[in-house]
Amino acid sequence: MPSKTLDQWRQARHAELAGPDSWLGLVGLFWLEDAISKVGSGDNCVVRLPSGPAHLGDLLCRDGEVFWQPAGGEARPLATDRDGQPSTVDHENLSFFIVDRDGRFAARVRDRAWAMRQPFAGIEHFPEDPAWVVDAEWLPLAPPVSMEVPNVTGELKPVTVAFKAVFAVDGQKVELLPMAVGEREVFFVFRDRTSGRETYGAGRFLKAKPAVDGRIRLDFNRAFNPPCAFTPFATCPLPPPENWLPFAVPAGERKWQGAH
């Protein structure tokens, strides 16, 4: 399948952020600390919904799994986001699903009608610049490097890195360490001298196709804001110090001008 053009990529990105399942529709993130967590709009609920019945049901944590038991109904297991698409529980315009962060569970609540109140106006981009399509060397690390990567909540996630991307900008040689390497894509998190000024302060994400013959193409025109740029109810990895680039990367998405 041919790659999307940059315009097509931007259009798909806009559609994703403007849609009912956008990060912009999140209205809550609630950690499940007990075996039984009440869900509803009542003051005694662990998972507080902005509307609906005072007690919609309960989330049950048993032996590393989460079950949903609607008020007066039977319990059913919920798939978390650990292995892919999570199960959702819907009530009118609201829905929630379970995220798994190294064995800690949380319910993430979404208002799927959010755009009716404030439609997404889009994100500004730097002008496309072919100079920021970089063909980097993809070099093995021997031995692999183990790192603890913090997210915006301050939690640390262990990451093992077996390769690095190496390239030069204006004669300055730099390296980027991937946060994940899969069969279909390689995922990076980086900061640069635009971070906090023209782009999101915590850094940006970049995805690349897997390396071929020891080289990997990094198209910084497709650098994009992490979910945490749009909502306080996301948990995003932060770039390790090795991925703090010592120069500006005026390519890709700029800072989102909305507020949360």
Q: What is the pLDDT of residues 10-60, one digit of tens each?
A: 999 999 999 999 999 999 999 998 899 999 999 999 999 999 999 999 999
Angstrom distance (rounded) from CA 226 to CA 210: 21
Burial class (CB in 10 A: 0-12, 13-18, 19+), 172: exposed
Q: What is the mean pLDDT of residues 149-153?
A: 71
Residues 73 and 99 in one domain: yes
Nearest to 191 by CA among 201, 180, 181, 179: 201
Residue 258, domain member (yes or no): no
Residue 76 lies in a domain: yes
Q: Is the pLDDT of residue 150 over 50?
A: yes
Q: How many residues does the chain have?
A: 260
Choose one of 70, 101, 117: the last residue of a domain: 117
Q: Specify the pLDDT at position 235.
A: 82
Tell whether 71 and 199 lie within a shared domain: no
Regarding whether 97 and 10 lie in a shared domain, the answer is no
User: Is 253 part of a structural domain of the chain?
Assistant: no
pLDDT at 231: 93
Residue 136: inside a domain, yes or no? yes
For 153-173, the pLDDT digits (tens) are 667 778 899 999 999 999 999
Q: What is the CATH number of the domain that holds 32?
A: 2.60.200
If asked whether residues 150 and 179 sit together in one domain, one would say yes
Let me know whether 106 and 74 are in one domain. yes
Instruction: Quote the CA–CA distance of 199 and 194 in Å, as a whole number.
Output: 6
Average pLDDT over residues 100-105: 88
Same-domain status, 202 and 106: no
Domain-embedded: residue 249: no
CA distance 10 to 255: 15
Residues 139 and 43 in one domain: no
Is the same domain home to 10 and 131?
A: yes
Domain count, the chain: 2
Burial of 145: CB neighbours in 10 Å, binned 0-12, 13-18, 19+: middle
* 257 is a domain residue: no
Question: Which residue, of 101, 117, 133, is where some domain finishes?
Answer: 117
* Judgement on whether residues 135 and 225 belong to the same structural domain of the protein: yes
In a shared domain, residues 140 and 225: yes
Q: Is 251 part of a structural domain of the chain?
A: no
Q: Give the DSSP per-residue string, 75-117.
A: -EEE--GGGSSPPEEEETTEEEEEEEETTEEEEEEEETTHHHH
Q: Are residue 67 and residue 152 in the same domain, yes or no?
A: no
Residue 154: the pLDDT is 66
Question: Mean pLDDT across the stretch 250-257?
Answer: 95
Say yes or no: 109 and 65 in one domain: yes
Boundary-marking domain end, from 59, 93, 117: 117
229 found inside a domain: yes
Which domain range does residue 58 map to? 20-117
Residue 82: band (very low, low, confident or very high) from pLDDT cuts 50, 70, 90 = confident
